[in-house]
């Protein structure tokens, strides 16, 4: 019996080691393109197309030929007016994510706590919005945005609320179904109004879903190119994805060094956001596993 348990433990350790190795290789396959982009952001423009996968080592002849330092970053920031674009992207992302989280969590709470045809209809519309392709509505949307004067960083927040509501309501509704209603009933018996019940009781319970939804929505809004390009007045307001396109010259020429540098700067905020919120996601999953 003891020998069988020992054999089973040994087999489990071997399987875990194999799985660790496999998933490590998969993670490297995902990280490798980012590493190549970082390396190319320090290369001269001519060598990015000629030797895109070459990693020059400091002190070698290859390093002296290819390495250009931070010149690509300086050129990209100057050509794209990166600081202004960064500000507009940051403003739109923060406001849009805040509005999506607030209103969609309230909507999900109403859908799960009020059983009526209206709540079911609202939920069905939110799910339907996830199915409709953006290309079907983009022309009418851009026309309507111009008519309603939504072609500003504040106006586009309303549009992002409409497009982001489907996923957010779906995620909040799924988590709300596992939350006990007894706590909310006790709060209402003690005299809490519905708004106070939501902000004092429901909102803290939804913290794991808030973080997960915020990361997904922030990644989408921060990297979105098509919607700001169609809606915003790009002569006044340029987000980072739009600004990067201005590195293209005539006849299809592209300053690849500056573009790689700007792409590196563009992904840093999202990476920082994920690393900062990772512990909250893990703690939320662990808390949900032992809830009850």
Give residue-wise pLDDT tens across range 145-191. 888 888 889 999 999 998 888 889 988 888 888 777 888 888 888 88
The per-residue pLDDT for 290 is 41
The per-residue pLDDT for 285 is 47
Is pLDDT above 60 for 80? yes
| Other beta carbons less than 10 A from residue 175's beta carbon | 20
Q: How confident is the model at residue 286 (pLDDT cuts 50, 70, 90)?
A: very low
Is pLDDT above 60 for 283? no
Give residue-wise pLDDT tens across range 83-111. 889 999 999 999 999 999 999 999 999 99
What's the pTM value of the predicted model, to 2 decimals? 0.82
Contact 169, 104 (CB under 8 A): yes
Nearest to 283 by CA among 216, 219, 185, 204: 204
Q: How confident is the model at residue 12 (pLDDT cuts 50, 70, 90)?
A: confident
Query: Could you tell me the two tokens for 282?
Result: 């893990």
Give residue-wise pLDDT tens across range 105-139. 999 999 988 888 888 888 888 888 888 888 888 88
Enumerate domains of the chain plus CATH numbers. 2-68 (no CATH), 81-246 (1.10.3720.10)
Q: How confident is the model at residue 1 (pLDDT cuts 50, 70, 90)?
A: low
Rounded to an integer, what distance in angstroms lies between the CA atom of residue 190 and that of residue 199? 15
Instruction: Give the chain as a DSSP string.
Output: -HHHHHHHHHHHHHHHHHHHHHHHHHHHHHHHHHHHHHHHTTB-HHHHHHSTT--PPTTSHHHHHHB-TTHHHHHHHHHHTHHHHHHHHHHHHHHHHHHHHHHHHHHHHHHHH--SHHHHHHHHHHHHHHHS-GGGTHHHHHHHHHHTT--STTHHHHHHHHHHHHHHHHHHHHHHTTS-SHHHHHHHHTT--HHHHIIIIIHHHTHHHHHHHHHHHHHHHHH--HHHHHHS-TTT---HHHHHHTTB-GGG-B-HHHHHHHHHHHHHHHHHHHHHHHHHHHHHHHHHHS--
Nearest to 224 by CA among 273, 159, 170, 147: 159
Instruction: Find the helix packing angle between 256-289 and 71-80, rounded to 10°.
Output: 90
Q: How confident is the model at residue 287 (pLDDT cuts 50, 70, 90)?
A: very low
């Amino acid at each position: 019996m003891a020998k069988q348990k020992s054999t089973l433990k040994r087999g489990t350790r071997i399987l875990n080691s194999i799985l660790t190795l496999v998933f490590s290789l998969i993670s490297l396959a995902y990280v490798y393109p980012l590493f190549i982009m970082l390396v190319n952001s320090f290369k001269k423009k001519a060598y990015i197309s000629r030797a895109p996968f070459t990693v020059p080592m400091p002190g070698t002849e290859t390093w002296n030929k290819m390495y250009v330092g931070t010149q690509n970053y300086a050129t990209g920031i100057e050509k794209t007016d990166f600081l202004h674009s960064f500000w507009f992207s940051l403003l739109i992302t923060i406001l849009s994510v805040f509005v999506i989280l607030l209103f969609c969590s309230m909507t999900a709470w109403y859908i799960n706590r009020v059983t009526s045809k209206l709540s079911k209809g609202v939920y069905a519309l939110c799910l339907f919005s996830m199915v409709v392709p953006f290309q079907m509505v983009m022309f009418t949307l851009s026309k309507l945005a111009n008519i309603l004067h939504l072609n500003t960083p504040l106006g586009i927040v309303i549009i992002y609320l409409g497009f982001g509501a489907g996923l957010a309501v779906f995620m909040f509704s799924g988590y709300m179904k596992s939350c006990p209603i007894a706590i909310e009933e006790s709060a209402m018996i003690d005299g809490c109004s519905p708004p106070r019940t939501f902000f004092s009781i429901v909102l803290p319970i939804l913290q794991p879903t808030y973080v997960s939804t915020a990361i997904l929505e922030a990644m989408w809004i921060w990297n979105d190119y098509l919607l700001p390009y169609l809606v915003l007045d790009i002569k006044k307001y340029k987000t980072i994805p739009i600004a990067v396109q201005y590195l293209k010259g005539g006849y299809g020429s592209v300053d690849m060094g500056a573009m790689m540098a700007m792409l590196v700067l563009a992904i840093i905020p999202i990476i920082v956001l994920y690393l900062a919120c990772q512990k909250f996601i893990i703690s939320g999953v662990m808390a949900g596993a032992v809830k009850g």
